[in-house]
């Protein structure tokens, strides 16, 4: 773990997490759902690297589909394909996508420390669906706020979702750590004024988010507790 946190950041009151790649490994389910969806429109499967790079940049499903379909395709076709992919993903996710093993204990540890927990997801889902998902994971009662991209004007790397999550947590943005696994996550955190923490995922290795200049690099979620303990000792 690398900690380059500035000395003026002497208080942490909340942690704001991205979902995909940070708390859950949803990429295999998303990848299979994407290719299954576009196959309904007679398109060839896309490579894993293509989809992973699109997500790393924070592109929406609609934007990815516009890169996948011929330029002449009608917007109504893009919308129909989006619905197909999301339907496939929701069915697959319920059975296959689980939180990383450390999540439950990490959330309990944070709550024991009096730290608020927020979720700021790049997903365009309805927030109620995310609450249902985290209750299914057994950690819903530990979360204080959930914000999805459909609730803000601009997606990451814009800071909107981080700022809105901090507002719902009733916490000054400079007292929030924002944890994500992509360059877009890190840039959004920095633009918002939060403490930016990057964690490597299966799709996004450390090299992929270093350009975002995170203040803290975590090898895994357990490193977050080590970081919190370091901050408490240095106060």
What are the CA-CA distances from residue 6 to residues 9, 15, 25, 156, 188 (Å)? 6, 17, 31, 24, 18
Question: What's the pLDDT score for residue 90?
Answer: 85
pTM for the whole thing?
0.87
Does domain 2-25+98-233 fall under CATH 3.40.50.1000? My reply is yes
Structure-token pair, residue 33: 């759902």
- The DSSP secondary-structure symbol of 196 reads E
| C-beta neighbour count of 58 within 10 angstroms | 20
Judged against a pLDDT cut of 80, whether residue 43 lies above it is answered with: yes
Judged against a pLDDT cut of 80, whether residue 8 lies above it is answered with: no
pLDDT-based confidence at residue 204 (cuts at 50, 70, 90): low
Judged against a pLDDT cut of 50, whether residue 210 lies above it is answered with: yes
* 59 against 39, higher pLDDT: 39
* 87 against 56, higher pLDDT: 87
For strand 2-3 and strand 216-218, is the pairing parallel, antiparallel, or unpaired? Answer: antiparallel
User: Phi, psi at residue 3, to the nearest 5°?
Assistant: -120, 110
Question: What's the pLDDT score for residue 206?
Answer: 59
Domain range annotation of the chain: 2-25+98-233, 27-96
Place of tokens 């689980």: 98
């Amino acid at each position: 773990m690398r900690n380059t946190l500035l000395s003026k950041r002497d208080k942490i009151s909340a942690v704001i997490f991205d979902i995909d790649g940070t708390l859950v490994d949803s990429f295999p389910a998303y990848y299979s759902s994407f290719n299954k969806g576009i196959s309904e429109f007679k398109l060839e499967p896309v490579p894993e690297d293509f989809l992973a790079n699109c997500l790393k940049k924070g592109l929406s499903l609609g934007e990815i589909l516009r890169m996948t379909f011929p330029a002449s395709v009608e917007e109504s076709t893009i919308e129909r394909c989006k619905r197909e992919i999301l339907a496939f993903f929701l069915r697959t996710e319920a059975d296959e996508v689980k939180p990383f093993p450390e999540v439950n204990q990490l959330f309990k540890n944070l709550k024991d420390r009096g730290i608020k927990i927020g979720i700021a997801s790049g997903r365009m889902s309805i927030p109620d669906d995310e609450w249902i998902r985290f209750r299914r994971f057994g950690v819903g009662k530990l979360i204080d706020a959930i914000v999805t991209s459909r609730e803000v004007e601009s997606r990451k790397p814009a800071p909107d979702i981080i700022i809105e999550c901090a507002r719902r947590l009733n916490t000054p943005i400079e007292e929030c750590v924002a944890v994500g696994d992509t360059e877009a996550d890190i840039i959004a955190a920095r633009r918002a004024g939060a403490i930016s923490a990057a964690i490597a995922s299966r799709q996004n290795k450390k090299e992929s988010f270093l350009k975002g200049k995170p203040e803290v690099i975590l090898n895994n979620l357990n490193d977050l507790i080590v970081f919190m303990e370091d901050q408490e000792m240095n106060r």
